[in-house]
């Protein structure tokens, strides 16, 4: 009789081979079309900013891991994703140090204090972005003219009021100047990675089909934005741009598909995800109309992230249990 | 309202059956544990040194709910030894040294079993040593007993609350699509459905079930079973076995009754729905008509070299079965059961028991150890959980010993199907956490009462 | 029993209020936008703490235990009003900076905490030294935090705005007000406080380890 000792472990004994690293790599891959479009529109400046962002994020994470005496978690690629997302959310004209500080803050304040991956209550890249955005409100708006935008960027420094860095500051009476199709195809002014709703939509759908993210939060977000903007536009056409304009400008698509689908900072239950997106989308439109000086979508998502534990309580009724009417 | 469309459960690849069942010849020496299923162990009715024939009763199960144990080879009972079960318990087991003659006892056949009373039929099932497979292994008599008097007898009133069993569902394919013993068995039944017919009718007579359902995989071709169902007004249901765990008892119960049974404490069969494997039904037929006890069983051997279906005598060393399947080389891990729900055991030196539906083998280079990183909160587990729990949260509650929170989050509804662990990118052993949580809660409850 | 010197020095390191006792966080987070705010708040608190400690310890055998908290608050409020009026009269700019946080010293948990935990159980001399030590520790902590935040946030250090004692450490470009505005924003206060706590724990852990070795 063999006296061989075999490995004993709990079931299941097979896995689908999915790892954190692979899921993050898939997310990065889904971001690539929009990133390349940004590179095409903004040229080498954009490439340099993205490279700097990724390097700064990885560098900070390596440094902190070393100082804290932990094994480096660089291998899972989350630092790369954080740096990339941060760089995609700043305009191509932003100074390098802005991205470096942002990436460092994202890791230092947004990620590392909360322990290993999965602890961060707010998407780390958003923490970094909003820290630099509140600190340097002018630099974060250094938009540059993209190669194929249908309209000329007016005087560089004073461009604020005229360009859709976020839909709020557009005078809705100018809306006729922007063709919705142009906006959708990515011919608009904005941060590096968010100007092409089409490519972001494709990337997001890819993630959903690959089962890396779920449809509930992104589509809830888009529905929420569409509803809020539609109602606002119907009530006051001069005060609120149309739903399509809101959906195709600023970081709406990016937020829906890549920020609302973060892991630890968003809910995991079906209705929780959907309501998270729905309310977040409405909030984003509200913040745009109310005239938040910068980043209505990021702020809306950050605010919703803080409410994630509440949304996570909206669990479905388990199999065979009677729905409680509490 | 559930808005998680198209996402519950996981897709697994299905083993295609060749429909061939290979017989493994009786072994020289068999080991038969007295513990069968989760009930109390059977009581010895012979003595060491007795000569026994195949089918002779060795030990008697508890009076109303146990199952008898029978000799699976002819020879001499030589010893009682301790046997270590994979779940950590140690059980007494009988050892029979074979005489190589394979003589059977003469059973007194009853060609018209259906005129017997239900109690008599139940008694014959118990004496036949039939064990219900799939889900929690228990003696079939006990399962029927529980299904018909659910928990009523636990209360101090002393009277049992009779509850009719409304549906019986017979499963013709394994829950785990990697296994194909039941599909092969179904293929061999072909048109000879007399045993199946009798088994179903006996069970219906005992339980008074209103409706019989035949649950098949949608890839299965079984004209004989279809014909039998048509003749008797049974409902044929075809589910997708590749969509694991659609063939598990709670899912089948939902499919046949349209109502979700409560899965807490594994008591699906107490919701008026009895889900049985076709194997069990055939054993029932043999036990009541031919009075032929369960002395062998069907087993899938699934390993790196593919899957095969075998029929072997109970108590045969698993090493013999593995070598008969030609998979004895380079084994790194052996699982009693399918890859999704089976229990791993540390040695091949273990007999085939009534509870083992399959052996899954992994080569040494296929063995991966759990990573158990912290939960990243990706929510994949909540997406696939067929019970609609939030396994990630539950695993964290159990990881940090918040047992009460876990119970509030319906930990006991978990059916331990393993879907969450299958998809978990952080490599967490989710089932481990769930089982640990249940064990802790049950032991606290036991010490309190 | 600690020596009198220890009663004084414990507040400067081992029981330094915001970092070790994690008390008085409200003013710590709110007024440390500038160095001036930090030390101003610290000294005002120190004054109230010392005076109330003296009075409470002197009266500790007279105060009925059932109404002691109310009595403490009356005593503390008296000194707070004195402080507030004096500051309004002589340092109006500092008073403006600190705003509502001066009257709020009444409910500062450090003061009530010391009154309850120390002054009501010890003699006048010890209570005085305890109040002085804790108060100066609080001042030190607030000043360090204020200096750090102000320096990072604006590049300046306002020693005492009324006397025009500002230092520009990092010169900024024309028309720029902030260096790293996040640091003087409320969230920056939390991050800085967290960083200081980390630093304190790191230092004491290191010293404990070297002592053990």
The answer to the question of residue A149 being in a domain is no
Q: Where are the domains of chain C?
A: 4-212
pLDDT in tens, A70-87: 888 888 899 999 999 999
Q: Same domain, yes or no, for A218 and A307? A: yes
C166-168 and B331-336 as β-strands: parallel, antiparallel, unpaired?
Answer: unpaired
For residue B206, the domain's CATH number is 3.40.50
Tokens representing A216? 């509930």
The angle, 0 to 180 degrees and rounded to 10, between the axes of the packed helices A296-306 and A270-289 is 140
The confidence score (pLDDT) of residue C18 equals 83
Provide mean pLDDT across the span C186-195: 91
- Containing domain of residue A110, as a range? 20-135
Q: Same domain, yes or no, for B128 and B247? A: yes
Identify all chain C residues contacting A132, using CB atoms and an 8 Å cutoff. Answer: 182
Contact between A10 and B349 using a beta-carbon 8 Å cutoff: no
CB atoms within 10 A of CB A267: 30
Provide mean pLDDT across the span C86-98: 92
In the listed set B251, B274, B290, which residue is the last one of a domain according to the structure?
B290
Q: Same domain, yes or no, for A162 and A307? A: yes
Cis-peptide into B245, omega within 30 deg: yes
The answer to the question of residue B282 being in a domain is yes
From A222-231, B160-169, B220-229, C35-44, the region with the lowest mean pLDDT? B160-169
pLDDT in tens, B392-442: 999 999 999 999 999 999 999 998 889 999 999 998 999 999 999 999 999
Q: In 3D, which of B309, B303, B308 has the Cα closest to residue B334?
A: B303
pLDDT in tens, A35-84: 999 999 888 999 999 999 999 999 999 999 998 888 888 888 999 999 99
Q: In 3D, which of B253, B277, B247, B278 has the Cα closest to residue B267?
A: B253
User: Has residue B153 got a pLDDT over 80?
Assistant: no
Q: A101 to chain C: nearest residue by CA? A: C180
Q: Same domain, yes or no, for A175 and A128? A: no
Tokens representing A107? 């890791």
Q: Same domain, yes or no, for A164 and A307? A: yes
Q: Same domain, yes or no, for A163 and A307? A: yes
Is C199 an 8 Å CB contact of chain A?
no
| Cα(C89)–Cα(C162) distance, integer angstroms | 13
User: Has residue C179 got a pLDDT over 90?
Assistant: no
Neighbours of chain A (3+ CB pairs under 8 A): B, C
Q: What is the SS3 string spanning A174-236?
A: HHHHCCHHHHHHCCCCCCCCCCCHHHHHHHHHHHHHCCCCCCHHHHHHHHHHHHHHHHHHHHC
Contact between C191 and A109 using a beta-carbon 8 Å cutoff: yes
The confidence score (pLDDT) of residue A34 equals 94
The confidence score (pLDDT) of residue A243 equals 85
Strands (E), chain A: none
Strands (E), A50-156: none
Selected for mutation to probe chain C from A102, A135, A139, A294 (highest C CB count within 10 Å) is: A135
Residue among B317, B410, B424 whose CB faces A321 most closely: B410
User: Has residue C41 got a pLDDT over 70?
Assistant: yes
The answer to the question of residue B315 being in a domain is no
- Containing domain of residue B237, as a range? 113-151+162-290
Q: Same domain, yes or no, for A86 and A187? A: no
Identify all chain B residues contacting A321, using CB atoms and an 8 Å cutoff. Answer: 262, 410, 413
What is the enclosing helix (H) or strand (E) of B231?
helix B223-232
Identify all chain A residues contacting C180, using CB atoms and an 8 Å cutoff. Answer: 101, 135
pLDDT band at B1 (very low <50, low <70, confident <90, very high): low
The answer to the question of residue B275 being in a domain is yes
The confidence score (pLDDT) of residue A96 equals 94
Mean pLDDT of chain B: 85
Say if CB A140 and CB A133 are below 8 A apart: yes
Tokens representing B432? 């481990």
The answer to the question of residue B49 being in a domain is no
Q: Same domain, yes or no, for B286 and B435? A: no
The answer to the question of residue B378 being in a domain is yes
Is C99 an 8 Å CB contact of chain A?
no
Say if CB B228 and CB B193 are below 8 A apart: yes
What is residue B256's three-state secondary structure?
helix
In the listed set B253, B274, B290, which residue is the last one of a domain according to the structure?
B290
The answer to the question of residue B441 being in a domain is yes
Cis-peptide into C48, omega within 30 deg: no
Neighbours of chain C (3+ CB pairs under 8 A): A
Contacts of C17 (CB under 8 A, 6+ apart): C11, C23, C24, C110, C134, C137, C138, C141
pLDDT in tens, B258-280: 888 888 876 777 778 888 999 99
Q: In this predicted model, which residue has the larger pLDDT, A227 or B369?
A: A227
Q: Same domain, yes or no, for A160 and A305? A: yes
Neighbours of chain B (3+ CB pairs under 8 A): A
B214 backbone dihedrals φ, ψ, rounded to 5°:
-105, 120
Identify all chain A residues contacting C178, using CB atoms and an 8 Å cutoff. Answer: 135
| Cα(B32)–Cα(B71) distance, integer angstroms | 8
Provide mean pLDDT across the span B139-165: 65
The confidence score (pLDDT) of residue A167 equals 38
Residue among C180, C191, C194 whose CB faces A135 most closely: C180
Question: Which residue in the block uniquely carries the two structure tokens 């191509």?
Answer: A92
Q: Which residues of A224-242 are buried (b: 16+ CB within 10 A; e: fewer)?
A: bbbebbbebbeeeeeebbb
The confidence score (pLDDT) of residue A178 equals 63
ipTM above 0.90, yes or no: no
User: Has residue B110 got a pLDDT over 70?
Assistant: yes
| Cα(B72)–Cα(A294) distance, integer angstroms | 80
Most confident of B192-196, B231-235, C52-56: C52-56
Q: In 3D, which of B245, B279, B254 has the Cα closest to residue B420?
A: B245
Contacts of B314 (CB under 8 A, 6+ apart): B30, B32, B72, B294, B295, B296, B297, B351, B352, B353, B354
In tens digits, chain A (326 residues) has pLDDT values of 445 678 888 888 888 888 899 999 999 999 999 999 999 988 899 999 999 999 999 999 999 999 888 888 888 899 999 999 999 999 888 999 999 999 999 999 999 988 888 889 999 999 999 999 989 888 887 777 777 665 544 433 333 333 333 433 344 445 555 677 777 887 777 888 888 899 999 999 999 998 899 999 999 999 999 999 899 889 887 777 788 888 887 788 999 999 999 998 999 999 999 999 999 999 998 888 776 667 889 999 999 999 999 999 888 888 877 765 44
Chain A 215-234, CB below 8 Å of chain B: which residues? 216
Q: Same domain, yes or no, for A187 and A228? A: yes
Tokens representing C30? 């709110």
Identify all chain A residues contacting B340, using CB atoms and an 8 Å cutoff. Answer: 11-14
What is the enclosing helix (H) or strand (E) of B321?
helix B318-324
Number of structural domains (chain A) is 2
Q: What is the DSSP letter of B43?
A: E
Give CA angle at A139 (A136, A142), nearest 5°: 155
| Cα(C25)–Cα(B329) distance, integer angstroms | 67
In the listed set B262, B290, B318, which residue is the last one of a domain according to the structure?
B290
Contact between A134 and C185 using a beta-carbon 8 Å cutoff: yes
pLDDT band at B152 (very low <50, low <70, confident <90, very high): very low
From A234-243, B188-197, C82-91, the region with the lowest mean pLDDT? A234-243
The confidence score (pLDDT) of residue A164 equals 39
Is C180 an 8 Å CB contact of chain A?
yes
The confidence score (pLDDT) of residue A3 equals 53
Number of structural domains (chain B) is 2
Q: Same domain, yes or no, for B286 and B406? A: no
Contact between B392 and A268 using a beta-carbon 8 Å cutoff: yes
Identify all chain A residues contacting C181, using CB atoms and an 8 Å cutoff. Answer: 134-136
The confidence score (pLDDT) of residue A138 equals 81
Q: Same domain, yes or no, for B269 and B416? A: no
Q: Same domain, yes or no, for A126 and A219? A: no
The answer to the question of residue A12 being in a domain is no
Percent helix, percent strand, percent coil in chain B, to nearest 5:
30, 25, 45
Is A274 an 8 Å CB contact of chain B?
yes
Q: In this predicted model, which residue has the larger pLDDT, B207 or A32?
A: A32
Tokens representing C120? 């009501």
Say if CB B278 and CB B186 are below 8 A apart: yes
The confidence score (pLDDT) of residue A326 equals 42
In the listed set A135, A167, A200, which residue is the last one of a domain according to the structure?
A135
Contact between A134 and C194 using a beta-carbon 8 Å cutoff: no
Q: Same domain, yes or no, for A74 and A109? A: yes
Percent of chain B with pLDDT over 90: 27
Q: Same domain, yes or no, for A96 and A203? A: no
Q: Same domain, yes or no, for A203 and A105? A: no
In sequence order, what are the beta bridge partners of B82?
B92
Say if CB B25 and CB B296 are below 8 A apart: no
């Amino acid at each position: 009789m063999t006296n061989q000792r075999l490995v004993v472990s709990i079931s299941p004994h097979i896995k689908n081979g999915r790892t954190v690293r692979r899921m993050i790599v898939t997310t990065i891959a889904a971001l690539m079309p929009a990133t390349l479009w940004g590179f095409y529109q903004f040229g080498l400046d954009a490439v340099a900013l993205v490279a700097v962002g990724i390097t700064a994020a990885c560098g900070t994470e390596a440094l902190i891991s070393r100082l804290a005496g932990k094994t480096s978690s660089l291998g899972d690629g989350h630092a790369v994703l954080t740096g990339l997302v941060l760089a995609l959310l700043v305009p191509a004209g932003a100074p390098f140090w802005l991205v470096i500080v942002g990436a460092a803050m994202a890791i230092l304040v947004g990620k590392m204090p909360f322990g290993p991956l999965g602890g961060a209550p707010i998407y780390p890249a958003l923490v970094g972005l909003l820290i630099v955005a509140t600190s340097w409100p002018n630099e974060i708006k250094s938009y540059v003219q993209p190669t194929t935008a249908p309209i000329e960027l007016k005087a560089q420094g004073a461009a604020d009021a005229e360009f859709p860095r976020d839909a709020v500051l557009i005078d809705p009476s100018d809306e006729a100047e922007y063709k919705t199709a142009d906006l959708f195809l990515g011919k608009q002014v904005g941060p590096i990675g968010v100007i092409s709703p089409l490519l972001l939509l494709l990337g997001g759908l890819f993630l959903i089909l690959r089962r890396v993210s779920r449809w509930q939060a992104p589509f809830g977000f888009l529905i929420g934005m569409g509803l809020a903007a539609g109602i606002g536009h119907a009530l006051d056409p001069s005060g609120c741009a149309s739903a399509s304009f809101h959906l195709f400008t600023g970081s709406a698509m990016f937020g829906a598909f890549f920020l609302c689908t973060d892991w630890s900072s968003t809910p995991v239950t079906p209705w929780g995800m959907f309501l998270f997106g729905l309310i977040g989308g409405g909030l984003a439109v509200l913040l745009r109309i109310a005239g938040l000086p910068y980043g209505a979508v990021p702020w809306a998502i950050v605010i919703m992230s803080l409410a994630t534990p509440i949304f996570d309580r909206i669990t479905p009724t388990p199999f065979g249990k009677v729905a409680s009417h509490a | 309202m559930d808005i998680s469309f198209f996402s519950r459960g996981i897709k697994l690849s299905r083993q295609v059956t060749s429909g061939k069942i290979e017989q493994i010849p009786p072994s020289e020496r068999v080991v038969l544990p007295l513990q069968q299923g989760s009930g109390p162990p059977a009581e010895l009715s012979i003595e060491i040194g007795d000569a026994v024939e195949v089918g002779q009763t060795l030990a008697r199960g508890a009076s109303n709910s146990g199952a008898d144990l029978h000799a699976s080879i002819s020879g001499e009972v030589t010893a009682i030894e301790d046997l270590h079960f994979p779940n950590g318990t140690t059980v007494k087991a009988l050892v029979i040294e074979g005489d190589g003659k394979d003589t059977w006892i003469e059973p007194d056949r009853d060609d018209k079993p259906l005129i017997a009373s239900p109690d008599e039929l139940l008694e014959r099932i118990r004496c036949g040593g039939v064990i219900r497979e799939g889900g929690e292994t228990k003696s079939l008599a006990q399962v029927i007993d529980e299904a018909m008097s659910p928990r009523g007898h636990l209360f101090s009133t002393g009277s049992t609350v009779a509850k009719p069993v409304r549906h019986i569902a017979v499963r013709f394919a394994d829950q785990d699509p990697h296994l194909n013993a039941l599909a092969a068995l179904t293929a061999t039944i072909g048109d000879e459905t007399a045993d199946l017919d009798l088994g179903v009718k006996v069970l219906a007579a005992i339980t008074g079930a209103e409706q019989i359902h035949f649950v098949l995989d949608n890839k299965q071709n079984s004209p004989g079973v279809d014909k039998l169902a048509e003749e008797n007004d049974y409902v044929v249901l075809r589910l997708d076995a590749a969509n694991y765990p659609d063939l598990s008892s709670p899912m089948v119960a939902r499919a046949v009754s349209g109502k979700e049974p409560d899965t807490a404490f594994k008591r699906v069969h107490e919701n008026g729905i009895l889900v049985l494997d076709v194997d069990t039904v055939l054993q029932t037929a043999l036990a009541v008509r031919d009075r032929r006890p369960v002395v062998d069983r069907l087993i899938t051997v699934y390993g790196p070299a593919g899957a095969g279906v075998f029929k072997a005598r109970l108590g045969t060393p698993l090493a013999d079965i593995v070598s008969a399947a030609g998979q004895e080389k380079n084994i790194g891990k052996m699982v009693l059961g399918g890859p999704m729900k089976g229990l791993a055991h540390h040695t091949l030196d273990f007999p085939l028991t009534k509870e083992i539906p399959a052996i899954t083998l992994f080569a040494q280079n296929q063995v991966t150890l759990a990573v158990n990183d912290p939960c990243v909160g990706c929510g994949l587990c909540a997406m696939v959980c067929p019970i609609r729990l939030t396994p990630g949260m539950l695993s964290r509650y159990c990881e940090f010993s918040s047992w009460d929170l876990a119970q509030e989050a319906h930990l006991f509804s978990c059916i331990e199907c393993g879907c969450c662990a299958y998809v978990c990118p952080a490599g967490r052993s989710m089932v481990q956490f769930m089982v640990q949580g249940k064990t802790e809660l049950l032991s606290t409850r036991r010490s309190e009462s | 029993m600690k020596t009198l010197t220890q009663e004084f020095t414990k507040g400067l390191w081992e029981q330094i209020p915001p970092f070790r006792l994690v008390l008085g966080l409200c003013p710590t987070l709110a007024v440390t936008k500038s160095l001036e705010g930090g030390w101003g708040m610290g000294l005002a608190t120190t004054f109230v703490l010392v005076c109330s400690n003296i009075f409470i310890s002197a009266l500790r055998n007279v105060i009925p235990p059932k109404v002691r908290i109310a009595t403490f608050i009356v005593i503390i409020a008296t000194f707070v009003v004195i402080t507030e009026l004096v500051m309004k009269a002589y340092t109006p700019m500092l008073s403006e900076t600190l705003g509502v946080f001066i009257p709020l010293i009444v409910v500062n948990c450090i003061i009530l905490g010391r009154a309850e935990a120390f002054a009501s159980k010890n003699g006048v001399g010890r209570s005085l030294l305890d109040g002085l030590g804790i108060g100066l520790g609080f001042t030190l902590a607030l000043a360090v935090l204020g200096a750090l935040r102000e320096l990072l946030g604006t590049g300046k250090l306002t020693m005492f705005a009324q006397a025009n004692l500002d230092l520009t450490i990092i010169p900024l470009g024309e028309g720029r007000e902030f260096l790293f505005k996040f640091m003087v924003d409320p969230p920056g206060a939390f991050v800085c406080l967290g960083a200081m706590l980390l630093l304190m724990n790191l230092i004491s852990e290191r010293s404990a380890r070297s002592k053990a070795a």
